[in-house]
Amino acid sequence: MKRRWLTLFVAICTVALLVAGCGQKSTDKNQTGDQSWNKIKEKGEFVVGLDDNYPPAGFRDKAGELVGVDIDLAKEAAKRLGVKAVFKPVQWDGVLLNLKSGEIDLIWNALGITPERQLEIGFTDSYMEDRNIIVVKSGSPIKSKANLDGKTIGLQLGSTAEEAVAKDPISSKLKEIRKFESPTVALMDLEAGRIDAVVTNEMNARYLITTEKTADKYYILTAEEGDFDKEPYGVGVRMEDKAFLAELNRVLNEMKADGTAAKISNQWFGSNIIK
């Protein structure tokens, strides 16, 4: 009888130890979960991947300093998070790989939120919206998107313009799509007559045309004449970095609410286009 009770006692203790062990593992798992924000705090900075020749989002001024609306927004966000923003220029067509490999912590550079990209990375809430437009030379016979039939267009490799054109029915009617490292280079080829049109986002195109005082050389087709739809912008992070993403969303919403984002927008565009 005593032996039976002893056996039962040992069995109960074994089960209790197993339960306690499982509970400990569960607690440990919770403690070692998403540490993305803690890692940023520990190193005291986040590294922003960007194309440094993409005005007015991010580009070099005459002194060689990085400036731009997204540069200013990222610096303000870093300040509020108590860390430093470090900027790392990368090849735009490989920027998602740079993010996934850990070379950079986020992408803040007029990054269009697309269904394709959402399968690969996480995004903050949209803070700005733009559209991919068609730029032609003044006096061009191209008066609508339909007129691109049989023409050669230029766009930036790895941009949302590339995706938007590829999905549009007009793509099968184009003579050729030439891909450039930046819209700036594409516009130079348009001016030289080597291509018939450039597809890029409106913010970038209008800034380039205005600052270079070349408005008389180019014409931007209206929405009625044809474009490649609107695109919302967001900050991109690694899919698993949800804690860091939450902090970015928090400070972005603060910047919108207290007028800081509007102030930055006004400095670059003369109006508030941040939503």
Position of tokens 């990054």? 111
At 197, the amino acid letter reads: A
Secondary structure of residue 142 in the 3-state scheme? coil
β strands within 51-174, DSSP E: 53-54, 58-60, 66-67, 84-89, 106-107, 121-123, 128-137, 152-156
- Kindly report, residue by residue over 208-261, the tens digit of the pLDDT: 887 766 668 899 999 899 999 888 999 999 999 999 999 999 999 999 999 999
According to DSSP, the β-strands at 230-233 and 152-156 are: unpaired
For the chain, the C-alpha Rg in angstroms (whole number) is: 25
Tell me the average pLDDT across 118-131. Answer: 95
Q: What is the CATH number of domain 131-230?
A: 3.40.190.10
Asked if domains 36-127+234-269 and 131-230 share a fold, the reply is yes
Mean pLDDT check: name the lowest of 23-32, 76-85, 258-267. 23-32
DSSP 92: G
Secondary structure of residue 53 in the 3-state scheme? strand
CA distance 44 to 38: 10
pLDDT of residue 215: 64
Tell me the average pLDDT across 35-51. Answer: 97
According to DSSP, the β-strands at 197-201 and 152-156 are: parallel
Identify the CA nearest to 197 among candidates 211, 210, 183.
Answer: 183
Mean pLDDT check: name the lowest of 6-10, 45-49, 102-106. 6-10
CATH 3.40.190.10 matches 36-127+234-269:
yes
With the CA atoms of 44, 48, 49 and 51 taken in that order, what torsion angle do they form, in degrees rounded to the nearest 10? -140
Give domain limits for the chain. Answer: 36-127+234-269, 131-230
User: Count of alpha carbons within 13 Å of 119, Cβ hemisphere only?
Assistant: 2
Greater confidence (7 vs 272) lies with 272
Tell me the average pLDDT across 42-57. Answer: 95
pLDDT of residue 217: 87
- Kindly report, residue by residue over 141-174, the tens digit of the pLDDT: 999 999 999 999 999 998 889 989 999 999 999 9
